[in-house]
Amino acid sequence: MPTSNATSKGWTRLNRIQTKAAPPNTKSTTPENSATTSNASITASTNPNWHTTPKKYEGEDITKKLVDLLEKENCDIYDKFRDITPLEMTSADVANYKNATKCYVCNDEFTPSLHRNVQSKEIVVGKYEDKNGKTKPVKRELRFLDSLKFTLSSLDKLTGNLGKDDFGNLNLMTSHCTEEQRELLKRKGVFPYEYMDGFDKLEEISLPSKDKFYSRLNNEGVSVADYERACNVWKTFNMQTMRDYHDLYLKTDVLLLVDVMENFRNICKTHYGLDPMWYYTAPGLAWDAALKLTGVELELISDPDMYPMVESGIR
């Protein structure tokens, strides 16, 4: 069955604010007053026909716009599953299906599954067919996962680990670009987040100077090489305003992130037979992978001193 996942990235704008100095001999932290004012998302699927192009939206209500879009695409995907197309099975496929004794995913033995039908009788699924019975559909839900909970690294470093054949979504969505342009986009770009403190900055007709890319959050600016690459992107893509640069930066960020996560999923499926998108963090994924590969069956806690020790380790 095809699977689909949406990936989203946003631009956080720093609001123009005035801060007061902390009193002498005191420690304080003044948080930046920021607001996410633009966002982009893309839906990637194992079925290439279900791919969507990056969608960008901006304004003060972009969170609602993002959720509304995801809800709509979620409904569209479920609608695609309403019409069930019969499987095209060869005689060998049918024989393998009938003779299967284990699940090909988890490798566990099949066990009879009891199902309560509309007549309130327990039956073994497969031995009885009620053509009038209906089951209640599972409710749809959106799962929001933080990619940082799995990667613990910057997007720049993660994209540097990808091979030339791992940029499937980026190559697909930039097929109209030249090879030179596509190569420029295969690394995360740089953006003057703190300088861009209002929508009026998007109308500027040139790239800000290198010092405007300084980040107080990281206490560092951008390298000469990164700034020169940003200038090259501006020139190569014939940009007219900072809005052009912003839109390409946002679109590229989304495409790079989805390629990183899809590559991570493929590696986990190949080596562990597990899909990271069904977990919330890398530790949870690693725990299941260890149990699956070792075949260890955990014993129930019987020592009264062991439970507080385990409980104290929960963060």
- Amino acid symbol at 124: V
Percentages (nearest 5) of helix, strand, coil residues in the chain: 40, 10, 45
pLDDT at position 31 is 47
Compute how many other C-beta atoms are within 10 angstroms of the C-beta atom of residue 202: 18
If phi > 0 it is left, if psi is from -120 to 50 it is alpha, else beta; for residue 135 that is beta
Strand partners, 55: 41
- Tell me the per-residue pLDDT of 6-18, one tens digit each, with 9 for 90 and over: 555 554 444 433 3
Coil vs helix vs strand at 232: helix
State the residue for tokens 């977990």: 279
pLDDT at position 131 is 42
Phi, psi for 272 (deg, rounded to 5)? -120, -15
DSSP 254: H
40 and 250 in contact (C-beta within 8 Å)? yes
150 and 264 in contact (C-beta within 8 Å)? yes
Length of the chain: 315
Residues of the chain with pLDDT under 70: 1-36, 105, 112-139
pTM of the full structure: 0.75
